[in-house]
Structure 1
Amino acid sequence: MGNPRMNSLHWGDESLAIELAWDDASAVGVRSIRSGGAHVAVTDVVPLVEILTVGAGHEPASDRLDHTQIGRSLRYVAHVAESDATRARLRITQLDTARGIEATITLESPNGSGCIRAEVEVVNVGRSTAVLRSVTSWSSGFGDTVEDRVEASVDVIEPTGAAGPADRSGFESWSLVSGTGEWLGENRWSRRGMREAGIAAIREDLTGHDRRSSLGAVSYGTWSTGGALPVAGVESTEIGAAWLWQIEHNGGWRWEIGENQSGGVFSLSGPTDRDHSFTLALAPGERFTTVPVTVAFASTFTAALENLTGYRRGARLPHLDNEWLSVVFNDYMNTLNGDPTTERLLPLIDAAAEVGAEIFCIDAGWYDDSGSWWGSVGEWQPSTVRFPAGLDEVIEHIRSRGMTPGLWLEPEVVGVRSPLVDRLPDEAFLQRFGERVEEHDRYHLDLRHPAVIEHLDAVVDRLVDDFGIGFFKFDYNINPGAGTDLEADSPGHGLLLHNRAHLAWLDSVLGRHPELIIENCSSGAMRMDFAMLSRLQMQSTSDQQDFRLYPPIAAAAPVSMLPEQAASWAYPQPEMTEEEVAFCLVTGLLGRYYLSGYLNRMTAGQRALVREAVAAAKQLRGAISRSTPFWPTGLPNGDGAVSLGLADGQTLYASVWNRGGSEPIRLELPRLRGRDVVVDTVFPRELAEWTTQWNGEEGILTVRAVDAETSARTFRITTSTS
């Protein structure tokens, strides 16, 4: 017998086109992908959908997301391709006949985005219950260069011959680009070769089986970015190709990389049995939908991130502030630190208005009468002790100075000493074995419960209606762990249901109050996933209080979020030198401007620097909301000089932080190679100018900092003819 007859389907547009392939003996998988000049083909087509159940595990035995028996047993049933003026959509249905499992993957690509969003619906069409342990939203090989066989975008099935093998797998030519985060140490990125990353060469080819292990990253509980990050990618400079992905979920997720004999594979999933105590008993006729993921492909990691940045802008909830980027002053960081009073706030409000802030947010503590508020939160009623004449007095003063009033809230928790503990039923809280889950003197609300939604809606509506609040900082400072087993098949399943209810609640809040601006804060940035970022207008990037340690966090933030969402604290203090003040102010400049600090205690010269920075931020916000990020000195690794670049068409902006080095700093700007440029200082313009030297042949801008040990500048680089 000859090889089975292979079918293929080409789908996409010029920005991103994929070829899917299958036959009577194999599942549907990605055989090739193209974006612009980048093109790879996969020698060994792996199943696009992998499903692990209690009754059907792996083959051969392993701990991977892929190599599942059901994944390999799925067979093509039908597909539907649709398109409109904005996007193309492809649905492919497959069936494991023996086990009665149907899987439909939906691929969606906004026109010209260079990205594909994917999710899978699993339906039990059999006669017995299937207990799910994991379902991927995407799985495919990295690919390698082969002869060109991706044709123009079509949406019909065409038979082809069997795919021929590539000359080599090319696995070792790929590098992993991935990040980790922790409280005060967010957005730490690295680029490592596959062997360096931990996938050792073990000669599994001698066994005739693919390796059993994988290199994986997972979240824990509801801090979706509290450790590993759900955004990552692989890049081969040798091949000239890069994949980049994001898992769009505010709870449990897993991504992993495996090495097969034929090359590399990456798989993306929501919660799993292995990592998140997730199992789901799917009775006959029941269905389950995975968390969405988005995959970008281009010639380089930076180019793939440009595509993903454009996708994020198009996919986020429309909001007036998405482009306006209001300048926010918040009283917390290195300033009042959760201890606001009328006496302390009024001079800060005046100073913030003087430098040009547009929103003034009263942070934690505004609801506390006891002086020990951590374990008593939940009612969210204004303190009468802190504000003797009422919170109204402070709110009205904010409004009288031309700013929008804002408040801090931590809506998902109730302190163990809060009166609300006894008013809400036990079913309103995340539980394990009938006991409320407690963490750091707080109980965690279960947003599936109608009493919880009623309570939270009443809080938000009351603060908006009674005080005219136009800005909320939604904080989140505990992690309940695996989840809840109340009305769920497993703790991971209960947490997934809660996660989805949380997103639905956010949608309802912004549906009722469409002009409300909400900051996504979670102990800094412990939950900066795209499920949250697609809905909320800004994201705090850290709680880091040492201004010298903040630049790497701020510079790397646009890998995970839009530049205009990245709110990195600019918290200058009166005891700082002018160069240190400028250093702090530069940290937030190429993002959402987020001020704090005792501006009211500053000298006139220091306050003038702050005023200049705010003015620069307002001038930049149009460019920032259109820009794509790049890193002239490479993704920061925590040491030495740090830089962040934003490209707005042919105009480039670069913030550069010198943290003690005396050597010149080389900024690589390859897109301007061979051209003459003009370099302007955006901020600070009143302090000593850094020297700059342009090498057009190499595309290198060399900058030399002033003598100050700690200093920073933001530059605008344009071509001399622009």
Structure 2
Amino acid sequence: MSETAPPQPEPSFEWAQPGRYLRFDHGEDHPVRIARWATGPDGPSFAAPMPIVDVNTAGEPRARHNQSLLHWGAGLRLRYTFHEFDGNELRIHQREPESGLEVTSVFRAAGPGLQIRHTVRNGAETGIMLLSVTSALVAVPEGPHDLIWGESEWLAEGRWRQRPIAELLPNVNPEFHHGRRNRGNFGVTSHGSFSSGEFLPTGVLAVAGGPSIAWQVETSAGWHWEATQNEGTVTVGVYGATDLYHQFAQHLAPGEEFTSVPAGFCVADGGRDAAFAALTDYRRAIRELRPVDARLPLVYNDFMNTLMAGPSTEKELPLIEAAAEAGAEYFCIDAGWYGTGNWWTDSGDWHEVPGLFDGGLISLIDAIRAKGMRPGIWLEPEAVGGNAKAGRELPEEAFFQRHGRRVNETGHFQLDFRHPAARALLDEAVDRLVDEFGIEFFKLDYNVNSGVGTDVDADGPGAGLLGHTRAFRDWLSDAQTRHPNVLFENCGSGAMRMDYNLLSVAHLQSTSDQQDFRLYAAIAAAAPASVLPEQAGNWAYPAEEMSIEETAFAMTAGVMGRLYLSGFLGGLSPERFTLVREAIALHKDWRHRIAKSHPVWPLGLPGWDDDVIALQLDTGDESLLALWGRGEAAEIALPGLRGRTFEQVYPVALPQWTIREDGGVPIVEVPTGNAARIFAVR
């Protein structure tokens, strides 16, 4: 009687680095899978087996019936060929025998996380049409996870939601339905060219004691991420543009390639805040820093609650005087300085308005420098206004088009940076402004959602948008190579295009266009979940009509990130101006420590209407803790800060908030009304 041979283990290979251990398996009947992901060879794995990539091509059958984008034929038929290690990268090569499709998956170590991307190559003799490629796929066993995602809109950025995964993907008892699989799926999708205009390209699957995972999609074009159920697991799928959601299609002729947008993935041993801390360190690891970035300078901008795109010599000179006295290091002239003075319709004509400034723009630049500040200026590089000369002179192919017509969004045409004429227009403008005026800071804005994309030289408009955004990032990187001492801000109508496709090369990110200081508190407190604290340009715009407490409230938002100063500072009373100078001094004292900090939310991620909001920027031994009160008096317990000491460091001249202990837990007494305090916690 013959005996059955014991099952043989799957062929596998490992990738081990400090704090990171992955084991992959593969076989004749399945693609390469992540079989184990842990912080070390002996640590527990958080991952369930899952193929590392999924590919959807035209005409392919689905292998599963549900709302998910997962499980297309070409991806499931991939088979391992070889892998290789190259420094901090692991490259895994697979091939689909039927069609000759080849995929190279790259896992790049970055801080505590991985940056993942896949290159699809057509190795066949006929063309294929690519409809979607995952940027990353990770599965975890079902458990007590909370799914965290962010909603956003103009003036109301960063509204985070946290709910148990069991509520979002309920148990429908598939066994009772003859063993059919769950169809549950929770998806978050961008729409159009505002990459963060409706949802944020970041998510967390958190467990109170860990391990938790966090991810982000690194593109300024279309993106989608989803959590779906599958036989006892929850799978997170991260995508760039797709056919289903973004009208993406990419034809690959024999030998041609397409690379997915990158996705960042992090694992943390703790819960929500630990996951965001890991993502924070990952973001720092993928930034392309230059020496000029290290100064973290404080910028005054004349727009918010101030000139609102109406500059003149008469208006600017008092602002320059007051900004310098307050402690600003850069002064940025915002929109309205070019063309005929209409900031919207003249975008694209990047020459100063004749006669607008006494002695010309250079006289204003000289006034800025005379006060010890560096000059900055506003551009909207991708926009050409309806009255701009560039709209008449550039070729039609240099603009977004659909169905043979230019995309016209409220009087703005969208430049396509894949076209050399579009890039040349902005290269000339930036180089001239740097060479002629000594500009050292550019505020790069983006104020319209141009829609799904362009069908010029593209198989689908979503592919056109992706190509443009990649070309725009290249343009921005090239501009910095030519001008290494110039800083560039990424501003997208506030934070409507807040993603690490651009933030990995930009210096600063405006976190909102919100002009109500009371509402800005929730935006500023939530910003470090989306952007590094040292890049989070939180506006601080004190006004003469604000009370003393309201002035401190408004300045607190700026201190807790990158203080982005505005307002008619010269009209403030001495007491209010002293509060401004005090906040600036505190920020300067802490800015390099903020650049090493991790965000913590002692009261949870802020709700839009919360009466009390808290943000802690933690460096380990010490922290800055901001508390904003926006309602009735309250007593706030901070159990996570048990045993720590508190020192009120802003504002020092206003009444000290009472902090007492109850069983060792700090209790802060927050008064009625709009008031804020910042504490050094040690």
Shorter-chain TM-score bucket reads over 0.9
Match of 2:83 in 1: 79
Q: CA deviation at 1:681?
A: 1.5
Q: State the match for 2:151 in structure 1.
A: 180
- Cα distance in 1, alignment partners of residues 43 and 598 from structure 2: 19
- Measured at CA, do residues 23 and 368 of structure 1 come closer, stay the same or move farther in structure 2, by a change above 3 Å? same
1:435-514 correspondence to structure 2 within 5 Å? 435-514=405-484
Q: 1:82-121 alignment to 2 at 5 Å? A: 82-83=86-87, 88-110=88-110, 113-121=111-119
Q: Take 1:53 and 1:266, find their aligned partners in 2: how far apart are those partners? A: 21
Matching of residues 323-338 of structure 1 within 5 Å: 323-338=294-309
Q: 1:222 aligns with which of 189, 193, 199?
A: 193
Q: What residue identity is the alignment partner of 1:253?
A: W
Shift of 1:666: 2.1
Over residues 172-215 of structure 1, what are the superposed CA-to-partner deviations in whole Å (9 max), with x where a residue is unaligned? Answer: x1110110110000001011012433x23322343434334521
- Determine which of 652, 657, 669 is the counterpart of 1:704: 669
Asked if 1:23 is matched to 2:27, the reply is yes
Q: Distance in 1 between matches of 2:183 and 2:68?
A: 7
Alpha-carbon distance in 2 for matches of 1:260, 1:66: 10
Q: For the Cα contact (< 8 Å) 2:204–2:275, is it kept in 1? A: no
Q: Determine the C-alpha separation between the residues in 2 that align with 1:42 and 1:592.
A: 36
State whether residues 321 and 537 of structure 1, in contact with CA within 8 Å, keep that contact through their aligned partners in structure 2.
Answer: no
Q: Say if 2:389 is the partner of 1:424.
A: no
C-alpha displacement of 1:384: 2.4
Identical-residue share of aligned pairs (%): 41
Is the 8 Å Cα contact of residues 377 and 415 (structure 1) preserved in structure 2? Answer: yes
Q: Compute the displacement of 1:706 (Å).
A: 4.3
Conserved 8 A contact 1:656-1:713: yes
Residue aligning to 1:317: 288
Q: How many residues align?
A: 674
What is residue 645 of structure 2 aligned with on the other side? 678
2:496 maps to a residue whose letter is M
The separation in 1 between residues aligned to 2:107 and 2:340, in whole angstroms, is 52
Deviation at 1:66, TM superposition (A): 1.3
Q: Which runs of 5+ in 2 are unaligned?
A: none
Within-5 A mapping of 1:212-611: 212-237=183-208, 240-299=210-269, 300-370=271-341, 372-611=342-581
Post-superposition offset of 1:387: 1.3
The secondary structure found in structure 2 opposite 1:398 is: helix
- Displacement of 1:315 in angstroms is 1.6
**Contact 2:339 2:388 survives alignment (8 Å):** no
Report what 1:717 is aligned to: 681
Paired with 1:388 and 1:42, the residues of 2 have a C-alpha distance of 65
Following superposition, the deviation at residue 375 of structure 1 comes to 1.7
Deviations 1:22-44 (A, max 9, x none): 2221111122221379733545x
Q: Is the 8 A contact 1:689 1:706 kept in 2?
A: no
> Matches of 1:140 and 1:476 in 2, distance apart?
33
TM normalised by structure 1 equals 0.91
- 1:123 is the counterpart of 2:121: yes
**In 2 relative to 1, CA 214–389 (structure 1 residues): closer, same or farther, beyond 3 Å?**
same
TM-score of the superposed pair, with normalisation by structure 2:
0.96
Q: Using the alignment, how far apart are the partners of 1:65 and 1:49 within structure 2?
A: 12
One-letter code aligned to 1:688: P
Letter in 1 for 2:59: G
Deviates more, 1:306-315 or 1:633-642: 306-315
CA contact under 8 A between 1:632 and 1:669: conserved in structure 2?
yes
Alpha-carbon distance in 2 for matches of 1:451, 1:368: 19
- Please say if residues 555 and 636 of structure 1, whose CA atoms lie closer than 8 Å, have aligned partners that are also in contact: yes
Moved over 6 A (4+): none
Displacement after TM superposition at 1:235 (Å): 1.1
CA distance in 2, matches of 1:42, 1:425: 51
1:641–1:661 CA contact under 8 A, matched in 2: no
Amino acid at match of 2:187: G
Please say if residues 234 and 242 of structure 1, whose CA atoms lie closer than 8 Å, have aligned partners that are also in contact: yes
Deviations 1:156-176 (A, max 9, x none): xxxxxxxxxxxxx43xx1110
Deviations 1:648-703 (A, max 9, x none): 12111111101123011223425xx4x4x3311221111111111245x65x3221
Cα drift, residue 394 of structure 1: 1.2
Give the distance between the partners of 2:671 and 2:369, measured in 1 at CA.
41
Please, which runs of 5 or more residues in structure 1 have no aligned partner?
Answer: 144-168
Match of 1:47 in 2: 51
Matched to 1:22, the amino acid is H
Cα pair 1:642 1:656 within 8 Å, conserved: yes
* RMSD of Structure 2 on Structure 1 (CA): 1.7
Contact in 1 for aligned 2:292/2:486 (Cα 8 Å): no
Deviation at 1:128, TM superposition (A): 2.2
1:692 pairs with one of 659, 667, 680: 659
Deviations 1:123-148 (A, max 9, x none): 111222221110002112123xxxxx
The range that moved more, 25-34 or 226-235, is 25-34
Q: Which residue does 1:146 correspond to in 2?
A: none
Alignment correspondent of 1:165: none
How far apart are 1:3 and its partner, in Å? 5.3
